[in-house]
Structure 1
Amino acid sequence: MDSYTLHRGTAPLLVSLPHNGSFIPKDIEARMKRPARRSADTDWHVKELYAFARSLGASILVPVASRYVVDLNRPSDGHALYPGRKETGLVPTVQFDGNDIYRPGAEPAAEEIAQRIKTWWKPYHRALADELSRLRKKHGRVVLWEGHSIRSHVPMLFDGRLPDLNLGTADGASCSPALQARLTAVLEAQNDYAWVANGRFKGGYITRHYGRPDDGVDAVQLELSQDTYMDEDSFAYLPRKAANVQVTLDALLRACLAA
C-alpha cells in the first residue's frame, strides 16, 4: 500500500493534509480499544474540502494512515510542540477525549515506533520536501499550506469553543510579513467566521520545520473548527456548510499565490 497520494500541480503552492488519513493496519487495530478504532481525531474530509485547490494549480499531498498510527505533524524524535501543555505525541496513546487508545499492555514499544516512522512518517516527509524543492526551483518561491481541522470543543487541549479559523505562522517566523499581512486582510474582510492568528495553534512541526521565508519557503497552518463544514458527532460531510467556508479558503489560497 502506498503511504500517501500526491497530486503535482503547476502553481507555487503545496497543500499538505497530514491528518486526513484514517487507515489503521489490522495488527495495530487488534490491540486498540474499540472506540479508538474509529480514528475519531482524524481531520475528517479536509481532502474534499481542499479539492478546489487543484483548479488553482496547487499540489496536494494526502496521507493514508491515521494519526493514531503515527502523527506526521510531530518531529520524529517525539519532541513536544507545546512544552508544558497537554498534547498528543508522535505515536499517540490517548485520544483527544483523554481515553486510552490501546488495551492495557498493548501500547507500541520503541522498536515498533521506529518501524512506523520508517513505513509512514519518512515517506510523507520525503515527498513533502521533494515537492517543495521542485516548486521552488520552478518558481523561485513556494507556499506550503498546512490544512488541518479539529472538533470545536476539546477540553484536553483548550478551554471553551475554538475560533472557526485558526491561522498559525509560528508567531510570524514561518512566513514572510507580507504574506501574513495578506492572509490577515482576507480574514478581516470576511464576516462569517471568528478567527485568530497564532493563538492556541501556532503551527505544528511541518509549519515550523519547513517554513524558511528567507530561503523562499513560506509555511502557514490553518486549523479549522470542524463545525464549519461537517457534523462533529456523526463525522458526516455537510456540502452546503463546506461550500460557505470554501469561499474563505479560496480567498486565502489566492492570497498565497498573489504574495
Structure 2
Amino acid sequence: MKNITHSLINRGLAKVLPEKPASGQEEADRVQAPAPVLVSGQPETPVVLASPHSGRFYPELFVQESRQPLNILRSGEDSYVDALAAQAHAAGPMLVHATFPRVFCDVNRAAWDLDPRMFSTPVPAFVRATHRGLAGLGSVPRVVADNRQIYRSRMPFMEAALRVRDYWMPYHAALAGTLRQTQERHGLCLLLDLHSMPDAPEAGNPDFVLGDVYGASCAHVLVQTAEDALQDLGFRTSRNTPYAGGYITQHYGRPRDGVHALQIEMRRSLYMDEQTRQKHAGFSRLSDALAQVAERLVSTLRTFETL
C-alpha cells in the first residue's frame, strides 16, 4: 500500500514540477538546511520511535514571506519531543525525526490534503482536501495558532509540490523503510508516533493522550500496556480524546499485517514553559517515563508471536 501511494504521489509531482532556477535565498536556505529527516539506530527492538513535528529549521525565505513572527510560527511545534525520546532511543528502539517544522510542511497529513484557496495558480485534480485541509491545516498549512494566516499572499501551487517532494516524501520514505526493516527483523513492529499538546480542558487535562484510531491502528494489549505504565508512574491518561491519531497512525497502523501504530500526545507544560519554550525540571521525569513505557512495550511485544 505504501509503495502504491508513493508511486501515485510521484506521478502527481512529475506533472507539476518543471525545473526552475532557485532564487538566491532559496539556494542559501538549501545549503544551510539539515537533512529533512534523520534516522538513527538499528532495529534492535520491535519498537520504532518517531517525532514528525519537532523540527526546528525554519527556512529564512519562509520566515520572510510569513505575516507572522517566528514565535507565532513556532506555536505549532512539538518542541524537544525528539530530545524527550532520546533516553528511550538509547535503550534500543530506532528513532525517526523530521528537522523541518510542521508549519512549513506537515507530514501528519496526506500529501495532497491542501486548501485550494491558498494558491494563485491552478490546482491539479489530484488534490483532495479533507475538512482539516479546507480549514488550512493540510500538508502545507495555511494557518497557525488561533487561525492566524501564515502567508501575506497566495502562493503558486508549485511551491506546495516542492515541499511535498523535498520534505513530505523523504520523511515517509524513511519512516516506511524503518518500519519495514524492523518488521523483517522481528516479525512485527510498533510505531510510537510522538507529539506534544497544549492543555486539553475538554478532556480533563490529561498528561498523555493515547490515540489508536479507536482501536483500528494498534492491538488493545499494547495500548493497555502503555496506559498501565503511565498510570503506574502517576500520570493521567486519556484514549482518543481529543486526539485519536492523524494520518501517520491511520496510514501505517495495520495490526493484521503485524504493524501497529500508537500516537502519544504529551502535555507540554509537563516539561517546558509554553511561553518561553524553555525546558524545566519536569523534562527529565517525562523523558524517563517515555523510556519506561517503551521498555514495557518491548517486553509485551516479545511475549507474543502475533497480536
| TM-score with structure 2 setting the length | 0.76
Instruction: Check conservation: 2:78, 2:195, Cα contact below 8 A.
Output: yes
Distance 2:227 2:185 in 1: 27
Q: CA deviation at 1:112?
A: 1.0
Where does residue 289 of structure 2 map in the other structure?
248
From the two aligned structures, give the one with the greater helix fraction: 2
List per-residue Cα deviations over 1:20-41 (Å, max 9, x = no partner): 1122222222210242464221
**What corresponds to 1:25 in structure 2?**
59
The residue type equivalent to 1:198 in the other structure is N
Aligned counterpart for 1:197 among listed residues 219, 239, 264:
239
* RMSD of aligned alpha carbons: 2.3
Is the 1:23–1:65 contact (alpha carbons within 8 Å) kept by the matching residues of 2? yes
Contact preservation (8 Å) 1:81, 1:204:
no
| 2:114 paired with 1:91 | no
Q: Map 1:76-115 onto structure 2 (within 5 A).
A: 76-78=111-113, 88-103=137-152, 105=153, 107-115=154-162
Residue in 2 that maps onto 1:65: 100
Instruction: Look up the equivalent residue of 1:213 and give its one-letter code.
Output: P
Using the alignment, how far apart are the partners of 2:131 and 2:49 within structure 1?
24
Q: 1:221 and 1:85, CA in 2 relative to 1: closer, same or farther beyond 3 A?
A: farther
Q: Distance in 2 between matches of 1:165 and 1:87?
A: 26
CA distance in 2, matches of 1:36, 1:98: 16
Q: Which stretch shifts more, 245-254 or 14-23? A: 245-254
Where in structure 1 are there 5+ consecutive unaligned residues?
none
Matched letter for residue 251 of structure 1: Q
Q: Paired residues, what number?
A: 251
Does 2:199 align with 1:152? Answer: yes
The CA distance in 2 between the partners of 1:11 and 1:28, in whole Å, is: 38
1:138 aligned residue: 185
Equivalent residue letter for 2:147: G
Q: Which letter does structure 2 place at the counterpart of 1:16?
A: A
Q: TM-score, normalised by structure 1?
A: 0.89
- Cα deviation for residue 126 of structure 1 reads 0.2
The one-character-per-residue Cα deviations of 1:9-60 (angstroms, maximum 9, x if unpaired) are 3211111100011222222222102424642211001111111012220101
Shift of the 84–51 alpha-carbon distance from structure 1 to 2, 3 Å rule, reads closer
Q: Quick one: structure 1 residues 177 and 147, their matched pair in 2 at CA, closer, same or farther if it must change by over 3 Å?
A: same
Secondary structure of the residue that 2:250 maps to in structure 1?
helix
Q: Which amino acid aligns with 2:82?
A: K
> Larger radius of gyration, structure 1 or 2?
2
Contact 1:88-1:96 within 8 A present in 2 as well: no
1:174 aligns to 2:209 (yes or no): no
2: distance between equivalents of 1:204 and 1:162?
20
Percent identical pairs in the alignment equals 30
